[in-house]
Structure 1
């Protein structure tokens, strides 16, 4: 300390003020971070390198909508050429680069120096026409000027194209599956369609193309009746549409999806109304229990029947008629025949020998017929329950017995038979159907029955109420000698693959009477079909490898796998069951130049006629940009030992304009220009020719007959420049790599520490004076001061009398002044004191493996130490509340000698645990504590953390910062002292 006071006392006032300012600066720096520095000259150099005379230029192509209004909708895919108008020769504009195409935002962006220019539109996207000027002439040229003040945000050129439009027509047709004429109800039925447009737009339509206009937003629905058409007009060409019928059941649709094009797009939906109908027949018979004849009075008794229907349209009414039967002595009496309508829940009446037919019940309708009680009569059949089955005899016979007093009980007969409607002989022979038969009362009764087949009865079999009986087609079961007044129920047990006409009957045995029922089943149609999706593309010049993607919906559910097809391909067969309905939608490929002209059988259902057949869904697309491709080959002529370049650049010209450019590589040196428009906007076939970007040392030769190229070698002049790096100041603790750049060419070389390196050789294939700029990239490594010098290398090449190129002269300038020699030298300085301001943060986390130790004995805190060698720098207490982790912050990375400080982590011993430390300063440390068993019971030890969760302050962040600042201050004081001594001496 005395030594320091002595040094300070020898300083001048100026030096003391300077020292105070430096100490204050270092104090602020230590708190807020490293004091940034920069070189004014380096900043100026970097700024000069970043600045350019070029300004961003934007062309924005927008749409004029189908109604003629200018919009903000971008138009991608429009091709333009760009030309500069020379001031000295404005009649001969110069083309810049190749074809420019507007991107998805309708933009073309290019950087240009100040001057006069124009864009020339050479190809319009499909579905667009040029904007017209005041004289109705197409606008294709767009002039503009770039000045030094040109705005780089606002488009300099805004161009417009007129969007063309087409029509979409949705047609609805309804037919009956049995070929009958449509009813008035069918003609009045509304069918709902959801229409989706790829642009999400809202478009107007008219029913049948006339009358009121309606607006439909994409995703909304419209309704049509049989024979109606929804006619949309003014839809932009190229918009993809999807038309989906809601609750589609039976039929098929064509062109249910596609792109709008110049011809009307017609989506035709034909639905088949499954109108198979059947009749339900009720017969009435009256008998007397004594066997006497039916009286005239009994013939006029009305027996009432309650009807219940399900699976029929709501509020449906069905026509009924009765047979002619005589109710009086006049055979011509019109009252002999009755007719009317009946609905669900209605009651009808029947008389003896009367037959009532309910007409045109839909197949599949369920019914229940219950005979209501009539005084003095016993109903042989009380309830009949079944369904209307196609072509089945839905006929039920109701017998009522009038109870005559004093008549001896006579056994009754109950029988029922099985009839199966099927085309499968094996089913008719082998398939058995189960029936459950119950009797009440059934106590102490054993009944007997026999099975009759082909008129031959089998042996009597015993039967207990509730058992089941199995019957095949054509068999009849007959119960004989049943007591009269016995209630019975016969129920067929349903099967999944048959429709049951008669499901259940309930009745009572009649004295001396016979009740017979026919249970008819129709086989549920089974079978499958194969759906095959076919892809067909019209037009030429498209990419035959382009894949078209299809989404398949089966019964309204989109299948997970997307179907991918190329032109001419078909999908693998897709199995569909009878009754399934499908919908195929091809994803929009308009952006790739394909218009979906139509899809046949895009929507449909699998019907009986499809079973065992292939159903073909054919999607036809047209390629709207008819194109060609041109191919050529590059050949070389050169002396032995000369290597061809790695690649060449070839330009394709349309007239004098460059429209395409390719890089071509060996060893085959072949090239192909694909997707070239075959015709120009006037319908004339385009004639293309080839040109090669000059290659040093090579002379390119072409012929007008083809686009092949032949290159002949010309010896170029090759020169290389060497650069040197020198280092002054302190010795850096780490190797440092420096980067040097030479332009034009963006050649980059590197030198680690000091030394020399050559830039790649530069070839000169023509005479002239060439200029190159060489500079060092300014790095960001702490402690380094970088050389901001800018060298320029000049090379002059001349052509001798023998025609060969020779190196005439080369020279070097530094910051504008010519220097001796041809070696750019860059000098960088290193100051290790700058490293003292760099800090690191070290995270530490604690991991536990308590084994069998119970929670009440587990440690609730530990202490970790930050060490440098054997010296503790800081310590921290870790607990569950700190989530067993901490962070040592703002630690000096280097010591006063510029060496990187080696920090380590140590944990104070924890009774019963073995500690293992892993990690490093860069990634952080982890301490794994594993319980190994306590050598003594837990107790407070001198190293255990106190209960107040505070630790002594033994070198935390502030202390470390203070130490670092102290070291820096002492070094500054020492340097000032040396300066003072030097000045006195």
Structure 2
């Protein structure tokens, strides 16, 4: 208070009143202010605004679906840069890069003004929205006013969801390399397709014709060579494709994530039903051994054919050599041909060979010759199977019974052949049951022949069994003619039998022979190994990928967990086992399943003794890198570095990250930086340091290291002059002068000169300073309102040294000579005589315990100056 009294004592009445009014105004209104805009450290928020002047602004990023419709689905992970646009020719970045959160939002607080968001990086699977001219929209302008509220300040931005194609291909091949039959080409295979979004999508067969809808989990059917082409599936959707009841095949890319390039799922089935021929031979004999007559050669003998283990209604082509056994040499190249279906009857003549072509391996058949009067069939019925590489050939002998001829004994023989590379299998014995009717407990005899060695005759009773190994033959040499015989091989679990059972009649003076061929059923095991690989950089190497394994359609209980570069433990599979491997979706963690080889398949003979590798490859779609740098100092003795510096990581002219770096180590790093821009180009980051007084920053294009070198500054000083013209002032007056930036203040009493403090320049450039006189309030003084600008040009030589190369002044915008601003004031004493002021006065009463009627009607007020009235 004493300080205020002292100030008032030095003022005249006018000045006291003006100062009192100013103080009252300040007390009544409070002091508020706004600092000048500062873009230092790219934090160009108006720091001087009071909290009530800041307004919330929300950017909301939403998805526009593949059909172009706006949705309410948030899009996280989009990068934006915010600019202040008060000066449209020179927008100023605010802070660093902003990224939308899981709700698709960015929230900032801004003072009133013009701004815009610039989208710099889109999340994987999205593209910019388009304007009316189909041009991408990346800039979003908005205005903040004092009326902006939390609800009204939402900048809504849309990104288009990209889509891709899913193509399912079906291929069928024969395991033996033969061409596909017409039946095979039209066979339909069923596929179940599921989508992670449970969506319904349309597809076309071979990409043309009618559109078909398929909801997740439903099935479609394809024939050999056909493709189901799905389009417009959102990028990132996880799919699985499973062939229903798949056997003997394999598939690639049977599961994965949709990308902008087509996802091709290739199923290849191998038709393991190799083909074999069934051959029937007909021979006619006379029981007396006489030659076959011409009439007998033209007789047709009938055979009923039945098939099982073949497709319903299947027919098979047959041919014969009939025209090669007649007496006409001109038609020897002709053949008799046709088709046969189960239940049909075929005819054969003496010497004719009928071949039924391309029966599938594993098909079963029964051939029964119908009775022909006066003939006895040495082979009446054959039941067998088409066995790969076996000679499926049967000879049917019919004996014409010539009257008056004494019957003679006949012979019956059969042999065993084994198809196997295993010596032990060829040494194995197989059991046969042989019956004769009528037998009347008769004892028959047989011998076993092996090569040229004939065994001794052994007794045999109908119904007994005989054991044979590969290469051995049983011969019953002397059987009564007319016996009905049946030979049945006892089945083995690990062999295919070409003949199950054969029956016929013993022939007078003739013989019947049958070959029983067995093929070893392949067996063995293999190991399935799942390998995991991730393309890209910046992902968490400890991230675990989860796999479900299905064996023969049954999901295994144990979930397989692998990191990138790891392989599963070997999983044992048996021949014929079906496997399917599906990696669980990890798209939300930034991993897109790009390909899987051998994801589905069947263990075949080719796999036995080898490993089957299922290779799952993912791509990290948020590919990032980490950068680190080191700050070094080149400084002379006695110079200390600052306590900290501010480092900015730049992408072009955009500040993407900013950190403060401190000693003593002066290291810094930036993690999880995007490696590629929206166009797929690798981003080149550069480093920038907010200037530090006295230091020159050096960078290296090959890294983000910084090196600061101390630069001896140059010194400059500006002197100003004060001149007073006119009447002599009654009192001394002190004049104040200000230089900005810096807020330097100097004073001069009356006339004179004074210099501002020395200024130090530590970097090259042209520097501008403004100098003006603070307007005083002395009565009679006319103050100089001139504004001077002082320009200082500093250049750096090739030796790195700074030098002051030029200085100049402007006055009120015009360049002048000299380097000393002169401020001239004029004093007019006459102004003191006519100067008057008005002083309002208000009388306030405090009655205390007195009543208002005691208040006087008037009072006398005296205005005093010093001790005078």
Q: Out of 277, 282, 292, which is 2:280 matched to?
A: 282
1:412 counterpart = 2:395: no
Deviations along 1:203-240, one digit per CA (max 9) or x if unpaired, are: 33344444444443333333444334333333322222
What residue in structure 1 maps to residue 348 of structure 2? Answer: 350
What residue in structure 2 maps to residue 575 of structure 1? Answer: 572
Distance 1:678 1:270 in 2: 38
1:227 counterpart = 2:225: yes
Within 5 A, what are the aligned runs for 1:759-774? none
* TM superposition shift of 1:520: 0.6
**Contact kept? 1:412, 1:484, Cα under 8 Å:** yes
**Contact kept? 1:60, 1:155, Cα under 8 Å:** no
User: Secondary structure of the equivalent of 1:244?
Assistant: strand
User: Secondary structure of the equivalent of 1:66?
Assistant: coil
1:479 counterpart = 2:476: yes
What residue in structure 2 maps to residue 61 of structure 1? Answer: 61
Deviations along 1:110-150, one digit per CA (max 9) or x if unpaired, are: 69799889766553210112224457352344747699996
What residue in structure 2 maps to residue 139 of structure 1? Answer: 138
Deviations along 1:943-969, one digit per CA (max 9) or x if unpaired, are: xxxxxxxxxxxxxxxxxxxxxxxxxxx
Distance 2:541 2:673 in 1: 15
What residue in structure 2 maps to residue 459 of structure 1? Answer: 456
Structure of larger gyration radius: 2
**Contact kept? 1:130, 1:160, Cα under 8 Å:** yes
What residue in structure 2 maps to residue 622 of structure 1? Answer: 619
What residue in structure 1 maps to residue 357 of structure 2? Answer: 359
What residue in structure 1 maps to residue 397 of structure 2? Answer: 399
Distance 1:518 1:367 in 2: 16
* TM superposition shift of 1:484: 2.6
* TM superposition shift of 1:687: 4.3
What residue in structure 2 maps to residue 102 of structure 1? Answer: 101
**Contact kept? 1:251, 1:605, Cα under 8 Å:** yes
1:598 counterpart = 2:595: yes
What residue in structure 2 maps to residue 261 of structure 1? Answer: 259
Cα RMSD for the two superposed structures: 4.5
What residue in structure 2 maps to residue 74 of structure 1? Answer: 74
What residue in structure 2 maps to residue 512 of structure 1? Answer: 509
User: Secondary structure of the equivalent of 2:492?
Assistant: coil
* TM superposition shift of 1:72: 2.8
Deviations along 1:78-135, one digit per CA (max 9) or x if unpaired, are: 345789999xxx987865x9855331xx343869799889766553210112224457
1:196 counterpart = 2:172: no
Distance 1:308 1:147 in 2: 95
Distance 1:670 1:301 in 2: 106
Deviations along 1:897-940, one digit per CA (max 9) or x if unpaired, are: xxxxxxxxxxxxxxxxxxxxxxxxxxxxxxxxxxxxxxxxxxxx
| Gapped regions of structure 1 (runs ≥ 5) | 1-51, 635-649, 692-701, 709-985
Bigger drift between 344-353 and 537-546 goes to: 537-546
* TM superposition shift of 1:681: 5.4
Distance 1:324 1:124 in 2: 78
**Contact kept? 2:189, 2:223, Cα under 8 Å:** yes
Within 5 A, what are the aligned runs for 1:10-89? 60-79=60-79
Distance 2:336 2:654 in 1: 93
What residue in structure 1 maps to residue 179 of structure 2? Answer: 181
What residue in structure 1 maps to residue 16 of structure 2? Answer: none
What residue in structure 2 maps to residue 243 of structure 1? Answer: 241
Distance 1:168 1:336, change over 3 A: closer
* TM superposition shift of 1:522: 1.3
Distance 1:98 1:328 in 2: 96
* TM superposition shift of 1:307: 0.6
Distance 2:621 2:561 in 1: 21
What residue in structure 2 maps to residue 584 of structure 1? Answer: 581
Distance 1:263 1:587 in 2: 21
Distance 1:523 1:671, change over 3 A: farther
Distance 1:651 1:592 in 2: 30
* TM superposition shift of 1:59: 5.1
Distance 1:680 1:453, change over 3 A: closer
Deviations along 1:808-842, one digit per CA (max 9) or x if unpaired, are: xxxxxxxxxxxxxxxxxxxxxxxxxxxxxxxxxxx
What residue in structure 2 maps to residue 496 of structure 1? Answer: 493
Distance 1:253 1:681, change over 3 A: closer
**Contact kept? 2:118, 2:138, Cα under 8 Å:** no
Q: Out of 552, 557, 580, which is 2:549 matched to?
A: 552
User: Secondary structure of the equivalent of 2:539?
Assistant: coil
**Contact kept? 1:112, 1:146, Cα under 8 Å:** no
What residue in structure 2 maps to residue 164 of structure 1? Answer: 162
Distance 1:304 1:147 in 2: 107
Distance 1:509 1:81, change over 3 A: same
Deviations along 1:278-300, one digit per CA (max 9) or x if unpaired, are: 11111223334444444443333
User: Secondary structure of the equivalent of 1:390?
Assistant: coil
Distance 1:336 1:626, change over 3 A: closer
Bigger drift between 455-464 and 676-685 goes to: 676-685
* TM superposition shift of 1:396: 1.0
User: Secondary structure of the equivalent of 2:606?
Assistant: helix
User: Secondary structure of the equivalent of 1:234?
Assistant: strand
* TM superposition shift of 1:537: 2.4
| Count of residue pairs the alignment pairs up | 632
What residue in structure 2 maps to residue 830 of structure 1? Answer: none
* TM superposition shift of 1:455: 2.1
What residue in structure 1 maps to residue 317 of structure 2? Answer: 319
Deviations along 1:241-298, one digit per CA (max 9) or x if unpaired, are: 3333334333333333322223333333333333621111112233344444444433
1:685 counterpart = 2:684: yes
**Contact kept? 2:61, 2:100, Cα under 8 Å:** no
Distance 1:193 1:315 in 2: 25
Within 5 A, what are the aligned runs for 1:660-699? 674-678=671-675, 684-687=683-686
Distance 1:541 1:445, change over 3 A: same
Deviations along 1:655-702, one digit per CA (max 9) or x if unpaired, are: 8999789999xxx999975422245658643346899xxxxxxxxxx9
Distance 2:415 2:300 in 1: 29
Distance 1:610 1:332, change over 3 A: same
What residue in structure 2 maps to residue 435 of structure 1? Answer: 432
**Contact kept? 1:201, 1:218, Cα under 8 Å:** yes
What residue in structure 2 maps to residue 785 of structure 1? Answer: none
Distance 1:383 1:347 in 2: 14
* TM superposition shift of 1:326: 7.9
What residue in structure 1 maps to residue 864 of structure 2? Answer: none
* TM superposition shift of 1:652: 8.6
* TM superposition shift of 1:187: 3.5
* TM superposition shift of 1:591: 1.8
User: Secondary structure of the equivalent of 2:425?
Assistant: helix
Q: Out of 300, 316, 319, which is 2:298 matched to?
A: 300
User: Secondary structure of the equivalent of 1:381?
Assistant: coil
Distance 1:75 1:490, change over 3 A: same
User: Secondary structure of the equivalent of 2:549?
Assistant: strand
**TM-score, normalization: structure 2?**
0.63
User: Secondary structure of the equivalent of 1:546?
Assistant: coil
* TM superposition shift of 1:164: 2.0
What residue in structure 2 maps to residue 22 of structure 1? Answer: none
Distance 1:673 1:149, change over 3 A: closer
What residue in structure 1 maps to residue 722 of structure 2? Answer: none
* TM superposition shift of 1:183: 3.6
